[in-house]
Amino acid sequence: MRRSPKDRNELRGFTLIELLVVVSIIALLIAILLPSLSKAREQARAVKCLANQRGLAQSAQVFADGRSGRTQLSADPIGMAAADPNKQLYAYGATGEILAWPVAIATAANIGYSENWNWGVRAQNFAEASQRKEFMKTDLGIATCPSDKIQISTPFYPRGASLATMGYPPEYPPAGGGNNSYWGFLSFGINEDVVGVEGANSPVVNGVRVGACWKNGCVGEVAQSANCAGERLRGRLDRVYDPGTCALIVDAGPTSAEQALASSDPFEYCNLITSAQVVGGPYLEDFQGQYPKRISNKRHFRGRVNVIFCDFHGEPATPTMFFNSPVLPNPIPTMYSPRVRVSPYKPFVE
């Protein structure tokens, strides 16, 4: 029985040209949608990052409520001796070693740390720390950001002579033999102007260590006077001027492992934010102009930086202007919106 032309047409398949057209349309749609999907994923990670910071802030608030409004101190031995000679105001381990600020906050979050080595490892720099990654604890998830590709950094203090010489578990021996700090899973930095105290690197006038924080339009090292020498606040949040605009916890840490491995100086990447010493102004962009490697401009979309302020609210700050440097890997922000103060003092004389 012969098939009619109609039957033969019903059995006809796609031609090669038709298939290529369909495949091209699908590829075009994928190319259009992928950037949007990637942006949506990054926005979700940024939201999660800020949520983790808020968790840190809530725990820091609990810690402060239990210690007369003080957050944990971050300082060298000279600063600690001046701020807490009897070791009663802040949190310490059983050996007398002051707890690094992430570890102190973890105790308020009921993570169960009692010593710094319950969280991180001792190392001299990022290279040594990354080799000891297996010993770093992962249960303080609120201390990391999903957008952070490195997630290993150091709170810097306690450091060197501040470290306990006894009690460190033998199964986690310190790397090297030099000036160690603790390193762990950490994506955020803390404002040293707020939680620090004058220490070994602070200026000395007439034999007395004086403040160097930006205050009333002056840098402390430039003009040492009652109006210009801003002292670090030793964790006393009640002394912060306009706390809703002054940063407490900020996105921080190296942009890439390659950059961090290339440096043997942890001071370049340590998670401390400050307006003191050579910083040229009271704002976050002034800090980044002096310490460009401590905050990554590539972690979030459009270079935004998540910030928890001293009143414990959080929001992203987005750069609105940049200075492109030929010698630095990232363009340096020269303005953020909203403005984020690092100095806990009034930024300029009215």
Report CA torsion sign: 142, 148, 151, 155: negative
* Assigned domain for 275 exists: yes
Q: How high is the pLDDT of residue 138?
A: 92
Work out the angle at residue 194's Cα, subtended by the Cα atoms of residues 192 and 197, and round it to the nearest 5 degrees. Answer: 65
**pLDDT tens, 220-272?**
434 445 556 688 999 999 999 999 999 999 999 888 888 888 887 888 888 99
Q: Which amino acid is at 110?
A: N
Helices (H), the chain: 5-10, 16-65, 77-83, 101-108, 126-131, 192-195, 257-261, 284-290
- How large is the C-alpha radius of gyration of the chain? 25
Q: Along the 350 residues of the chain, how does pLDDT read in single tens digits?
A: 555 555 555 556 668 777 788 888 888 787 776 666 666 777 788 889 999 999 999 999 999 998 989 999 999 999 999 999 999 999 999 989 999 999 999 988 888 899 999 999 999 889 989 999 999 999 999 999 999 989 999 999 999 888 888 887 766 666 555 688 999 999 999 999 999 999 888 877 777 787 888 887 664 434 445 556 688 999 999 999 999 999 999 999 888 888 888 887 888 888 999 988 667 789 999 999 888 889 988 888 888 999 999 999 999 999 988 766 555 556 788 899 999 999 999 887 65
Q: What is the bridge-based pairing of β-strands 247-251 and 305-309?
A: antiparallel
* Assigned domain for 347 exists: no
* Assigned domain for 29 exists: no
**pLDDT tens, 106-133?**
988 888 899 999 999 999 889 989 999 9
Q: How high is the pLDDT of residue 63?
A: 93
Q: Kindly state the tokens that stand for 178.
A: 């030099």
Q: Kindly state the tokens that stand for 22.
A: 């369909």
Q: Residue 191 and residue 342: Cα distance in Å, rounded? A: 7
* Assigned domain for 121 exists: yes
Question: What is the number of alpha carbons within 13 Å of residue 70 lying toward its C-beta?
Answer: 19
Q: Kindly state the tokens that stand for 346.
A: 């009034």
Q: How high is the pLDDT of residue 178?
A: 66
* Assigned domain for 307 exists: yes
* Assigned domain for 9 exists: no
Nearby residues of 332 by Cβ (< 8 Å), 6 or more positions away: 285, 288, 289, 292, 297, 322, 323, 324, 325
Q: Residue 272 and residue 287: Cα distance in Å, rounded? A: 10
Nearest to 297 by CA among 325, 274, 331, 268: 331
Q: Residue 9 and residue 152: Cα distance in Å, rounded? A: 65
- Residue 60's domain comprises 34-337
Q: Residue 251 and residue 139: Cα distance in Å, rounded? A: 19
**Cα–Cα distances in Å, from 246 out to 128, 135, 208, 292?**
34, 35, 27, 19
Q: Kindly state the tokens that stand for 212.
A: 């160097």
| DSSP output for 140-171 | -GGG--TT-S--EE----SBGGGS-SS---TT
Question: For the chain, how many structural domains are there in total?
Answer: 1
Work out the angle at residue 272's Cα, subtended by the Cα atoms of residues 165 and 341, and round it to the nearest 5 degrees. Answer: 150
* Assigned domain for 175 exists: yes
Q: What is the bridge-based pairing of β-strands 152-153 and 181-185?
A: antiparallel
* Assigned domain for 88 exists: yes
- Count CB-CB contacts under 10 A for residue 146: 19
Q: How high is the pLDDT of residue 278?
A: 63
Nearest to 190 by CA among 103, 129, 109: 103
